[in-house]
Amino acid sequence: MTEENKEKPSHFIRDIIAADIAAGKHGGKVITRFPPEPNGYLHIGHAKSICLNYGMSKEFNGTFHLRFDDTNPTKEEVEYMESIKCDVKWLGADWKQNEFYASDYFEQMYEYAKDLIKADKAFVCDMTAEALRESRGTPTEPMKPSPNRNRSVEENLDLFERMRNGEFADGEKTLRAKIDLASPNMHMRDPAIYRIRREHHYRTGDKWCIYPMYDFAHPIEDAMEKITHSICTLEFEVHRPLYDWFIENLNIFPSRQYEFARLNLSYTVMSKRKLLTLVENKDVDGWDDPRMPTVSGMRRRGYTPEAIRNFCEIIGVTKFNSLTDVALLEHSVRDHLNKTSPRVMGVFNPVKVIIENYPEGNEESLDAVNNPEDESAGTRKVPFSRELYIEADDFMEEPPKKFFRLAPGQEVRLRWAYLITCTGVEKNADGSIKQIRCTYDPATRGGNTPDGRKVKGTIHWVSARHAVACEAHLYDRLFTVERPDADPAGRDFREFLNPSSLTKATVLVEPYVLEVAKPGYRCQFERIGYFCVDTRNSKPGKPVFNRTVALKDSWAKIAAK
């Protein structure tokens, strides 16, 4: 193990592969795969699997395959397939020319099934799904054998061919492997491996009316692609003996299956069924709604692939069913965005500020640093004039101690502009603040203090005359609630798509934003949060922002004390 690896979190898969290479298995070759079923959009949990599989292939100079495990025509669609390709690519897992489809192997699988029949290791069964279920027994009682278990090889061959030819109705017959009726592992009790299903397949159309089951198909798919390490999630652990049984009895490439714990994230629902419900009920605006924990939703939110990859690295890979704090994800996102996001000034809840001693009609252009953490990001020009907007929260008429921002008599820095001091407040009839009056110090141009005096507060602002209004979607970090089924209040998980987080707001931004904001453009509005120009909803020249991660509002905490 290298020094570098010692620094990394647990990764028993990495250790296994390293050991296999050291032992000369498969001639030191490593081939991994990510095998999604195209029946939904990828979510953050899939991202973990992608990072793992792709990461291992990369680390050990191996090959990575993207394979669509499309053996069930009922739920699969082209739209899903396309979205998966897009998301995997976006995450940076390059499968090069290695794009495969289980449906391309149907003919071969059919042949393998016949081999099994010829070896008297599979038989055609006439039982209904319900009868099968009843006959299966319990973990302590063995399964009752199928009345058709001892059909002759010839009859089975004939029947299986007729299944393929469409001579039987859906569900009328299945092909079952003949394994072990008394096995404590229910999956070994003569499992079904082919079923009849007249359903249009998104790729093979109506060519087939019989489809292989996962347990039969997967080892064959892996073997045909010479996958050395077939990495999947823990729930398939119980299936491994079956996987091995097919590998052995079909005498095919000895792929091996390894299992790791799937990702559970606090406040996040990752059940495909539930996500689909949200989409179908229009509780969200599609799979890529920024509140969704999908890869595409996160992309719209402004998360970066780098951040997601880093997250996957730091959470490690174990066999322990854990519940990862979503703060870990957000930390990764902030961490990357802090280094890379250009900064832009914006105001959500504007309140007008008049600079009394600034000449009316005058305006000037000030230099602002785009990213203090990245010099190469350069600077931009920000227009300044006598009338400005600042964030309402940045002003308090009667400030408590330790309020560093604008208040009567108090001086603050307008970022990249001037130091201003509040001289008074004008109010509306209802007592609300109409506008704030200030004076500026012309010697502090650019926000500098030639005399060296300190100001605690630096606030953001936009020139009233120049500001551009953009639409923004505000989203809380909340997707859904942790353990939604077990919510003590019995609330439905959909309720946790906080409707208040749906609000559209107008954000006033520097005119500069219009020059640079193309869909996907990310920036940070100081102290408010990170924003991403919506990759779906924005039109050229009129960016729509999605808020990403709210910055911690320390002031709220101070105020709460």
Among 335, 441, 476, 495, binds RNA (CB under 7 A): 335
Q: Supply the minimum distance, in Å, between the C-beta of residue 430 and RNA.
A: 26
At 389 the three-state DSSP class reads: strand
Nearer to RNA, 220 or 285 (CB): 220
- The Cα–Cα gap between 366 and 418 comes to 10
Q: Looking at 274-282, 290-298, 468-476, 550-558, which segment touches RNA (CB under 7 A)? A: 550-558
Q: Report 270-299 residues binding RNA (CB under 7 A).
A: none
Residue 334 known to be catalytic = no
Site for RNA contains 244 (CB under 7 A): no
- The Cα–Cα gap between 545 and 505 comes to 10
Site for RNA contains 328 (CB under 7 A): yes
Nearer to RNA, 144 or 542 (CB): 144
Site for RNA contains 237 (CB under 7 A): yes
What count of Cα atoms within 13 Å lies in the side-chain half-sphere of residue 343? 22
H or E element in which residue 307 lies = helix 305-315
Q: Looking at 72-80, 115-123, 301-309, 427-435, which segment touches RNA (CB under 7 A)? A: 72-80
Sequence-distant (6+) residues with CB within 8 A of 17 are 30, 56, 60, 229
Sheet holding 346-347: strands in order across? Answer: 343-344, 522-525, 529-533, 544-550, 468-473, 504-509, 346-347
- The Cα–Cα gap between 7 and 220 comes to 37
One-letter amino acid at 516 equals V
Site for RNA contains 15 (CB under 7 A): yes
Sequence-distant (6+) residues with CB within 8 A of 227 are 31, 32, 33, 65, 221, 253, 255
Catalytic residue among 14, 33, 37, 301: 37
Q: Looking at 44-52, 78-86, 282-290, 322-330, which segment touches RNA (CB under 7 A)? A: 322-330
Among 180, 325, 387, 492, binds RNA (CB under 7 A): 325
Q: Report 434-473 residues binding RNA (CB under 7 A).
A: 446-448, 454, 456-459
Among 119, 153, 182, 186, binds RNA (CB under 7 A): 186
Q: Report 489-508 residues binding RNA (CB under 7 A).
A: none
Nearest CA-CA partner of 387 in 423, 435, 337: 435
Rounded alpha-carbon distances, angstroms, from residue 405 to 119, 321, 410, 412, 414: 82, 46, 8, 6, 10
Q: Looking at 325-333, 354-362, 512-520, 534-542, which segment touches RNA (CB under 7 A)? A: 325-333
Among 197, 381, 437, 465, binds RNA (CB under 7 A): 197
Site for RNA contains 37 (CB under 7 A): yes
Among 300, 380, 415, 466, binds RNA (CB under 7 A): 415
Cβ–Cβ < 8 Å for 189, 181 = yes
Terminal Cα-to-Cα distance of the chain (whole angstroms): 50
Nearest CA-CA partner of 195 in 220, 168, 218, 155: 168
Catalytic residue among 75, 262, 465, 536: 262
Q: Supply the minimum distance, in Å, between the C-beta of residue 469 and RNA.
A: 21
Q: Report 395-414 residues binding RNA (CB under 7 A).
A: 402-405, 413
Q: Supply the minimum distance, in Å, between the C-beta of residue 199 and RNA.
A: 10
Site for RNA contains 255 (CB under 7 A): no
Catalytic residue among 29, 121, 136, 272: 272
Residue 226 known to be catalytic = no
Q: What is the token pair recorded at 422? A: 């509040």
Q: What is the token pair recorded at 24? A: 């000369």
Nearer to RNA, 91 or 315 (CB): 315
Cβ–Cβ < 8 Å for 62, 28 = no
Among 41, 46, 54, 69, binds RNA (CB under 7 A): 69
Q: Looking at 54-62, 209-217, 291-299, 494-502, which segment touches RNA (CB under 7 A)? A: 209-217
Task: List, in sequence order, every residue forming a beta bridge with 440; answer none if it has no partner.
Answer: 420
Place of tokens 């195209």: 38
Q: Supply the minimum distance, in Å, between the C-beta of residue 238 and RNA.
A: 5
| Strands, E assignment, 216-339 | 229-233, 256-260
Q: Supply the minimum distance, in Å, between the C-beta of residue 287 and RNA.
A: 17
Q: Report 338-357 residues binding RNA (CB under 7 A).
A: 338, 343
Q: Report 364-383 residues binding RNA (CB under 7 A).
A: 372-373
Helices (H), 165-239: 214-224
Cβ–Cβ < 8 Å for 379, 370 = yes
Q: Looking at 41-49, 320-328, 379-387, 511-519, which segment touches RNA (CB under 7 A)? A: 320-328
Residue 262 known to be catalytic = yes
Helix, strand and coil percent figures for the chain, each rounded to 5: 35, 25, 40
Q: Report 154-173 residues binding RNA (CB under 7 A).
A: 170-173
Among 524, 535, 538, 548, binds RNA (CB under 7 A): 524
Q: Report 111-140 residues binding RNA (CB under 7 A).
A: 127-129, 132-133, 136, 138-140
Cβ–Cβ < 8 Å for 296, 288 = yes
Among 32, 57, 63, 71, binds RNA (CB under 7 A): 71
Site for RNA contains 482 (CB under 7 A): no
Question: Where in the sequence numbering do the catalytic residues fall?
Answer: 37, 262, 272
